[in-house]
Structure 1
């Protein structure tokens, strides 16, 4: 092999390696922080909107996400209840010298109160079964995976409590986030919580009903709303199962942070119910 041929082959190999590197995911690491206090913002949803590339920051705000370079012109979104959503172009994020993403706390406008002589009645929505003979669980354990039920209402309604019936768990402690959304389209939703709600349950308590009181958030809806459970902390290898039941409406889920919402084809729902006060 002469020198010219050797150099040509070497250059070709370098170009091929460069092309391969540009195709495969390149990690972006950083920390999500409060713009004012500089303190970590935990469990922030991070991802490309509608695509299957996402993650959730840790309890100390650290995140790492692998994004191929052909997404450099796409926007990476950072969102969490209590903060304004932030979007940064992937290419710009790669070139940033600082690895801190600063989020601004959200200011919630006070709802206008109209005093009218309305009468309300208590009602329970969703799946209430505690039978452990039928169970269901998450399809995967990617950070940001969500699974939930659409609660149907057509009148003025105040959300009071959420109840969950777990069936079993191999984890010592379960840690999930509860989300409540209002529909903004057929498969698009907006979170209506004012503060994040986390569920932490020890293995010894997993078979007891878990009740989350939401009265202090003053959640009011006039139409359907979606209640989900989200996997936001890496719990390691294991499995979590819920009591479940056949239902006449679809279960909603998304595989990853900022990913596309979908409906499960199987007519089965996890045992999650909501106590509400709805207008008579």
Structure 2
């Protein structure tokens, strides 16, 4: 082959090179398309592939794409911004992603007169002394665990969210508290009921983590799923083996779900009929007024 032919091959555009020559980890930043400010803790993941991550507090991310195709679809989403869908190869070529602000339409809720919400009580599996434990489903940022919360009266005002930690050997970890609307089949959707990112960091303590939700003025007339999503922590933290939440058996219909990382599919966890209908429950619950 002539030297001229070699030069022609070496000059091929990057998008014509074989996929095996591409970087296996995409690193970039997530920005606000309007202000160009960095966007912290944005979800980035390959749809339905359990390949994903979360941007850090400075908007930077690192996404491993070694196990996916260049033509797979990546979803980038953050609360208050319009999600973007990109092919893997598009993100490789332009790893800085800008998200446009999106107006959020709130579902109409019938609000009863001031002073109506007089009864304060707990909803969910609230036993802090249960003998079981449940863990996250992976060690990837964006891994998430949640429990369905069933309302006893409607409408209901949500006061705070509570999570019973059995142990944490990873050191300080940062989570996002999420509340998801349920689909007609009772499974969690991707629609969030909280209209701000509620971030909580806790260390190695054992016990109840309570998060104040009164600033959100959250009044609901529907069941929902309460979840914790791991978004930041020590490098290489083995969250799956080093962090566990209190769990036990109960009769209430508080199904719990897991997903491995950002944009992955929710998986319902069940062990079938146990002890005359009792099912495993994770100790996530809310304080409400109705």
Q: Which TM bucket (shorter chain)?
A: 0.7 to 0.9
Residue 269 of structure 1 and its aligned partner are, at CA, apart by: 2.4
| TM-score, scaled relative to structure 1 | 0.80
TM-score (norm 2): 0.78
Unaligned residue ranges in structure 1 (runs of 5+): 1-17
RMSD (Å), alpha carbons:
2.7
Instruction: Give the conservation status (yes or no) of the 8 Å contact 2:127–2:283.
Output: yes
Secondary structure of the residue aligned to 2:65 is strand
Counterpart mapping for 1:165-180 below 5 A: 165-180=164-179
What are the superposed Cα offsets for residues 93-136 of structure 1, whole Å, 9 maximum, x if unpaired? 3333xx32112233345776766558443331112122164322
Task: Give the corresponding residue for 2:286.
Answer: 274
Name whichever of 110-119 and 267-276 sits farther off: 110-119
Q: Which ranges in structure 2 are unaligned for 5 or more consecutive residues?
A: 1-16, 272-278
Aligned residues: 256
Q: Which moved more, 1:221-230 or 1:121-130?
A: 121-130
Measured in 2, the distance between the counterparts of 1:246 and 1:117 equals: 38
Are residues 1:240 and 2:243 paired? yes
Contact map agreement 1:82 1:196 (CA 8 A) in 2: no
Question: What SS is found at the alignment partner of 1:91?
Answer: helix
State the match for 1:253 in structure 2. 258
- What is the distance in 2 between the residues matched to 1:178 and 1:149? 12
Q: CA deviation at 1:177?
A: 1.3
**Which digits, 9 at most, give the CA deviation of each residue in 1:165-193, with x for residues without a partner?**
21211122122111101013433411111
Task: Quote the residue 1:123 is aligned against.
Answer: 121
Deviation by residue 1:233-276 (Cα, 9 ceiling, x = unmatched): 24334401222221344311111110111111233222211012
Distance 1:75 1:62, change over 3 A: same
Partner of 2:32: 34
Contact residue 161 and residue 285 of structure 2 kept, 8 A: yes
Judge which range, 55-64 or 184-193, deviates more. Answer: 184-193
